[in-house]
Chains A and B, each alone.
Chain A
C-alpha cells in the first residue's frame, strides 16, 4: 500500500549554480550577480493512494515530475512537504546498474548490487544460479563489467533486481532493455510478478505498454496531478490533450 498525501518537492535551482569561493566573493559585492532564489516545485500537492496489487502507470511529458515522484516513493528524496507512507518491501528499478562497479566482474557485481538492494548473503547464494540463468550471461561471469555491452549490463541488472518477489516494484522505463528475446522474457517476468500480487509503479512513454500492463494511471504535468483513475480513461484523455 502506498499513501501519498499533499506531497510537494521543492528544488532550489540557485544552489546548483556556481558555488565556488570566487563566486561567493563576487556576489558579496555585485548585487546583480546574486543568485535569485529560484524555487522550483518539481512536485506540488500530489495526493493519491495505491492499493496492494494495483499496477499504476505514470504518464506525462518530460520533466513532469514522474521520476521525482518515484524517488520520493522509494525514499531517495525526502519530500519538502506532505507525507509518504509505504508499507512493504520496495525494489527500485529506477536506473539499472546504478550500483555496478565497472572494475568488478559480473559475479562480484551480483553480490555488490544485491547488497545495495538490501538482500542478504545467504539469499544471494541460494538465488545465484537463477540470476545467472535469467541474465543469459553464464559465459561472462568472470569478466569485468566494464567490458560488457550496455545491453548485457541491463540484462544483468534486471535479473538481480527482479530476483525477489518484492511487494512494491518501482520501474522507470526499463523494459526496453536487451534484445528482443530478453525484452519478451522481462515482460513475462513482470507479468508474472503482477499476477503474484506485486504492487507496481510504472513509468513509460509508451501508452501501449501502460495500457497493457496497468489497471490504473496517473497523469502528471508540471509537477501537478492532472488526472488519476482508470488506465483507459486517463490514457485517452492524455492522448487527446497532446494530439490536439
Chain B
C-alpha cells in the first residue's frame, strides 16, 4: 500500500507539475501584464474592500490595524473560494482525458489547488507590504515582524489540506450533480458573510460567537491574525486544532473521492 503510493507519487509528480504549469501558462498567455496580475489583482481588490469597509467597521476595532486585519482574512478566504471552485470542476473539465487514458483521477483536484496556491503565495506579497508600511505607532496600530511568522507556513499548510479535502468532496459531487457548481457559488457568498473577514467576531451576540469560531476558515484566519496583529503565539492547542481540522477534512475528501471515483466515467 505505502509502496504503491510512493511509486505513484514518483511516477506522476511530473504530470502534476505539468498540469500546474499548463494552467499557469494559459492563464497569463494573452494578458499584457502577465504574471504581474497575480500580485496586482489581490492588491487592487483589497484596496477596494479596504476603502469600503474601513469606514464601516473602524470603530469596533480600536487599536487594531484594520487594513492588516482585513487583508489577512481576505487572502485565506479568497484562496478557499478560488481553489474550491476550480477543484470542483477539475474532473468535469478533464473528462475527455479521463475517458481515454488511464491517469489517477485524484491528481486533477490537487493540481488545481496547487495552481491557485501559487496565486495565494503571490498575494501574500501585497499583504506583507501593507504590514510593513501601514499603521500608526501612536495609535498602537503598527504591526511588527516577529519570530512567530515562522509558524505561518504551518498554518497555511493546514489551510491547504482543508481546501484540498473540500475540493475532493466537491469534485466528486459535481460529477453526479452538475447543479453543485451553482449551489456552491451561492454557498461561498453566504460563507463570506458568515466568516469574520471584514468585521470583528465581537460584534456578534455572545451565543452565536461559538458557532462562528467552529468555522475552520476562521480558525486559520484567527491564528494568522494573532501573529500579524498582536505578535502573539497561537496556543499549541489552537495549532493542533488547525492541523486536525485540515487533516480531517483531507481524509474525508480522499475517502469520498476514492469511494466514488470508479463510477465517474459513467457520468462524464
Contact = CB atoms under 8 A, between A and B. Distances in A.
Interface of A: 11-12, 15-16, 19-21, 74-78, 90, 92, 94-95, 98-99, 101, 103-104, 108, 111-112, 115-121
Contacts of B22: 101, 104, 108, 112
B96 interface: yes
B100 A111 contact: no
Interface residues of B, number: 26
A105 to B, nearest CB: 9
Given A90-B102, A98-B96, A116-B101, 6 more contacts: A76-B99, A76-B102, A99-B97, A108-B25, A118-B11, A121-B17
Contacts of B177: 19
A9 to B, nearest CB: 11
Interface of B: 11-12, 14-15, 17-19, 22, 25-26, 29, 96-103, 177-179, 262, 265-267
B26 A116 contact: no
Given A98-B96, A103-B26, A103-B29, A116 B266 contact: no
Contacts of A115: 14-15, 17-19
Contact of B266 (A15, A94, A111, A118): A15
B102 A101 contact: no
B100 A76 contact: yes
B267 A15 contact: yes
Query: Which residue, of B19, B97, B178, has the highest number of chain A Cβ atoms within 10 A?
Result: B97
Nearest to A103: B26
Nearest to B17: A115
A99 B101 contact: yes
Given A11-B266, A15-B267, A116 B103 contact: yes
B100 A120 contact: no
A129 B103 CA distance: 26
Query: Which residue, of A19, A21, A74, A116, has the highest number of chain B Cβ atoms within 10 A?
Result: A116
Contact of B14 (A94, A104, A120): A120
A95 B102 CA distance: 12
Contacts of B99: 76, 98
Nearest to B10: A120
Contacts of A12: 266
Contacts of A117: 101
Contact of A104 (B26, B97, B98, B179): B26
Given A21-B179, A92-B102, A104-B22, A116 B15 contact: yes
Query: Which residue, of B99, B100, B266, has the highest number of chain A Cβ atoms within 10 A?
Result: B100
Contacts of A119: 14
A46 B224 CA distance: 59
Nearest to B12: A118
A104 B25 contact: yes
Contact of B101 (A94, A101, A108, A111): A94
